[in-house]
């Protein structure tokens, strides 16, 4: 998926991670350290979004 800039890519990664986590929680699956890597047009990783960082645990 190609996005306009890093901020847009981060927002999409957070939205997608939350969606995946919600589906896994509902199905009783284990949640264990998944990440999204955001790469630039050269393929270099410019950000890593951990699924854990996308939710509030209280």
> Domain ranges in the chain?
6-54
What local confidence, expressed as pLDDT, does residue 11 receive? Answer: 92
Residue 57, CA distances (Å) to 8, 26, 29, 52, 54 in order: 24, 16, 17, 9, 10
Full DSSP string of 28-58: T------EEEEE-TTS-EEEEEEGGGGS---
Residues across the chain: 58
**pTM of this prediction?**
0.79
DSSP H/E element including 12: helix 6-26
What local confidence, expressed as pLDDT, does residue 33 receive? Answer: 84
Whole-angstrom distance, CA of residue 7 vs CA of residue 4: 8
pLDDT digits (tens, 9 = 90+) for 13-46: 999 999 999 999 899 988 788 899 999 989 999 9
């Amino acid at each position: 998926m190609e996005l306009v800039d890093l901020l847009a890519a981060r927002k999409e990664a957070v939205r997608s991670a939350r969606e995946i986590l919600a589906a896994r929680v509902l199905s009783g699956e284990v949640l264990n350290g998944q990440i999204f890597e955001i790469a630039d047009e050269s393929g270099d990783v410019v950000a890593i979004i951990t699924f854990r960082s996308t939710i509030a645990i209280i």
